[in-house]
Amino acid sequence: MGRFISIAIDGPSGAGKSSLAKNVAKKLGCVYLDTGALYRAVGLFVYEKKIAGDDIKAVEACLESININLAFTGGAQRVILNGRDVTEAIRENIISRYASDVSKIAKVRAFLLDMQRNMALAGSVVMDGRDIGTHILPGADVKIFLTASAEDRAKRRYDELVGKGQKNIEYAEILKEMEARDTQDSTRDIVPLKPAEDAILLDNSGWEEAETLEKAINIIKEKLPYVDIR
């Protein structure tokens, strides 16, 4: 590529940020970093300790006992929490709620901030989350805010969970939780979910994954014409 580049992909839960970021990273030949997985790992730790996600003091007290590492195997990111691979465990639906809760806590965000920025300094990256373009990498070369209707996102999450064999889940409940999380993420006091001023909005309601990727690559080509696309 000639120099390190950074791509920030933000957006609400279920918009397909992770899938898009993975595919973009593959096209660009750079590293994909799922920052949401870091919050999910903290949420999982808190959940397993039977601590309420909104118990600020108790969550803060946990941080000194949490060690998170990201490993890359076959190009895929694995999340290691205190030496244990929790890549699948952090995707449980209940952990989404805990991740949202702990992400509102200032000390949790500070705990993970340097980790995320240091990862971006190590090489070219595609990073997805909820505050990458506004807070983590405000100087990113390209910022995309990926969104879709709540109904569309809930259906994707439902299909994903069913595909992974999870049972006793209902679309209506997922939609309700998704709408609640949208409200919580966008109204929190600490770096609320919102597009960066220079982000490009990409609404992929009703789109297939390949179409979303095509649109994103076109945005990157326009912004960074010197970048090689595989």
Question: Is 190 part of a structural domain of the chain?
Answer: yes
Question: Is 112 part of a structural domain of the chain?
Answer: yes
Question: Is 224 part of a structural domain of the chain?
Answer: no
Q: Supply the CATH number for residue 146's domain.
A: 3.40.50.300
More confident of the two residues 187 and 84:
84
pLDDT for residue 56:
97
Question: Is 83 part of a structural domain of the chain?
Answer: yes
Q: Of the segments 70-79, 118-127, 168-177, which one has the largest average pLDDT value?
A: 168-177
pLDDT for residue 67:
94
Question: Is 228 part of a structural domain of the chain?
Answer: no
- Given pLDDT bands bounded at 50, 70 and 90, which one contains residue 1? very low
Residues 6+ apart with CB under 8 A from 60: 105, 107, 108
- Indicate the residue type of 163: G
- Whole domain around residue 189: which residue ranges? 6-216
The rounded distance, in Å, linking the Cα atoms of 217 and 211 is 10
Chain centroid offset of residue 36 CA: 3
Tally the domains of the chain.
1
Q: What would you measure as the largest C-alpha separation in the chain, in angstroms?
A: 50
203 close to 148: Cβ distance less than 8 angstroms? yes
Q: Which of 126, 155, 141 is nearest to 213 (CA)?
A: 126
What CA–CA distances, in Å, run from 51 to 20, 62, 83? 33, 10, 21
Question: Is 194 part of a structural domain of the chain?
Answer: yes
Q: Which of 224, 209, 225 is nearest to 21 (CA)?
A: 209
Chain centroid offset of residue 113 CA: 14
Q: Could you identify the residue written with the tokens 């702990």?
A: 102
More confident of the two residues 114 and 199:
199
- Given pLDDT bands bounded at 50, 70 and 90, which one contains residue 83? very high
Question: Is 1 part of a structural domain of the chain?
Answer: no
Question: Is 106 part of a structural domain of the chain?
Answer: yes
pLDDT for residue 12:
93
Residue 189 has pLDDT above 90, yes or no: no
The rounded distance, in Å, linking the Cα atoms of 51 and 102 is 11
The rounded distance, in Å, linking the Cα atoms of 67 and 49 is 15
Q: What is the pLDDT of residues 148-161, one digit of tens each?
A: 999 999 999 899 88
